[in-house]
Structure 1
Amino acid sequence: MIRVVVADDHAVVRRGLTGLIESTEDLAVVGVARDGGEAVALVRELRPDVAVMDLQMPVMDGVEATRAIVGEASGTEVLVLTSFSDHSRIDAAIEAGAVGYLLKDAEPEALLDGIRAVARGESPLDPRAARRLLARTARSETGSAPPAADVPGLSPREAEVLRLVVEGLLNKQIALRLGITERTVKAHLTSAYQRIGVADRTQAALWAQRRGVGGTGRPDQP
């Protein structure tokens, strides 16, 4: 059972998320917070697997709450759930230690899959928000990356998987797209991380986008 804390300052959203999560057999809401301060206190007390975090909240916003949760090394992973208009806070939340982010207009199943992905150690990224983050980071780091010739090469399948990561697909979606198992997708990603010297999905996506892995280097291409 994946234990979840939900943090959002809107009662309707809290109730909707709680009902959605509780409708599954493998996820359970163990706490609900109205602001970032409550979220930090609940995580400290309950040690959930995942905190689903809104960003714009009173008392303490989601960015500061994320930073506090990550800083305490509680073992709780933070999944940001916000609107696309909060793009500046999205950037700040990732820098604070959030491992993934989805938008509030996502399909219910995408949110549930995102929570499961975070619990497995993956980093789900909404494609629209991911494109913006990748483009911003690539612009800010232009010229700072080592040339491709100095980086260990990838197999064709590893490059293909990374290209789909840039698009924002979860492992399950990548497996369906490529006609392989989810376990095989994870194995390709683990191998790719070791080859290119990164630690997680977000860093791998940034590496792939900067070097044009998959042919175009554009995360919005099929």
Structure 2
Amino acid sequence: MRTIRVLIVDDQPLIRTGLHATFSGVPDLAVVGEAANGVEAVQAVKRLSPDVVLMDINMPRMDGLTATREIIGARSPAKVVILTIYDQDEHLFDALRNGASGFILKHAPTERVIEAVREAAEGDALLSPSVTRRLIDEFAKRPTLSSTTGGSLQQLTDRERDVFRLLVRGYSNDEIARELVLGDSTVKSHVQHLYQKLGVRDRVQVVIYAYENGLVPSSAR
């Protein structure tokens, strides 16, 4: 059984202690380190090579948004999950744009926190369809960075294009499987191939890619 390596980043010792306790005794999770600010987080990722980083936003010395940007910019394979008090956090969209794979509420049930870490490690974005809808709405208010379709989308097969359209609309893998009448493993394979061809990390980045390249289907707007 694979052990998922977790780095906890928060400037509040009680939060770090609570999360550490949450993962204690979970066979497939191991806390490999803690950090109290973004500077320590960036250094810890380089030193400890975690699979998942639970990242607070508001911290001294370097905030979580900047730390996330530096970690992702350094091409670390670690998945960053934002820790937030409210799902309406004004910084959420900036965090996702900076490469975060999603978010988890600090007061979420223990089972959900554990599940979130596992999902992030597997490459799934931690966004419900309703949050993805808000993400789409937010980007719809902003001008796209490019109005060209580029070459990457042309590399997709017809089936991968179908998957792309559903991902942008916030469908989960299970929902895609039902919509396209495909097996779960087939959907996962299509999703991974789509990520590779578009050069993105997860479904959040698919939505961002789509908007920044003018590729959002009208039905998703």
Moved more, 12-21 or 97-106: 97-106
TM-score normalised by structure 1 residue count: 0.72
* Corresponding position of 1:186: 188
* Corresponding position of 2:200: 199
Q: Residues 154 and 192 of structure 1 are in contact (CA less than 8 Å); yes or no, is this contact kept in structure 2? A: no
Let me know the Cα RMSD of the aligned residues: 3.5
Tell me how far 1:63 sits from its aligned partner.
0.7
Q: Residues 158 and 188 of structure 1 are in contact (CA less than 8 Å); yes or no, is this contact kept in structure 2? A: no
* Corresponding position of 1:123: 125
Q: Residues 43 and 69 of structure 1 are in contact (CA less than 8 Å); yes or no, is this contact kept in structure 2? A: yes
TM-score normalised by structure 2 residue count: 0.72
Identical columns (%):
35
* Corresponding position of 2:63: 61
Tell me how far 1:66 sits from its aligned partner.
1.1
Residue correspondence of structure 1 range 1-222 to structure 2 within 5 A: 1-82=3-84, 83-87=86-90, 89-141=91-143, 145=147, 154-155=158-159, 159=162, 163=166, 166-167=169-170, 169=172, 171=173, 174=175, 182-190=184-192, 192=194, 197=198, 199-200=200-201, 201-205=203-207, 207=210, 210-212=216-218, 216-217=219-220
Partner Cα distance (1:189, 1:109) in 2: 26
1:175-196 superposed Cα distances (whole Å, 9 cap, x missing partner) = 897797542331232355578x
Runs of 4+ in 1 over 6 A off after TM superposition: 150-153, 175-180
Q: Aligned residues, how many?
A: 208
Partner Cα distance (1:94, 1:123) in 2: 10
Tell me how far 1:40 sits from its aligned partner.
1.9
1:141-177 superposed Cα distances (whole Å, 9 cap, x missing partner) = 4695568xx977844x9747853674364x4x55897
What are structure 1's unaligned runs of at least 5 residues?
none
Q: Residues 161 and 185 of structure 1 are in contact (CA less than 8 Å); yes or no, is this contact kept in structure 2? A: no
Partner Cα distance (1:188, 1:84) in 2: 29
SS of the residue 2:134 aligns to: helix
Partner Cα distance (1:175, 1:131) in 2: 16
Q: Residues 6 and 52 of structure 2 are in contact (CA less than 8 Å); yes or no, is this contact kept in structure 1? A: yes
Question: Which structure is richer in relative contact order (CA contacts within 8 A, separation 6 or more)?
Answer: 2
- Closer, same or farther: CA 194–12 of 1 in aligned 2, 3 Å: closer
Q: Residues 163 and 190 of structure 2 are in contact (CA less than 8 Å); yes or no, is this contact kept in structure 1? A: no
Tell me how far 1:114 sits from its aligned partner.
2.7
Q: Residues 67 and 97 of structure 1 are in contact (CA less than 8 Å); yes or no, is this contact kept in structure 2? A: yes
Partner Cα distance (2:36, 2:124) in 1: 26
Partner Cα distance (1:162, 1:20) in 2: 37
Partner Cα distance (1:103, 1:177) in 2: 29
Partner Cα distance (1:53, 1:143) in 2: 28
Q: Residues 56 and 82 of structure 2 are in contact (CA less than 8 Å); yes or no, is this contact kept in structure 1? A: yes
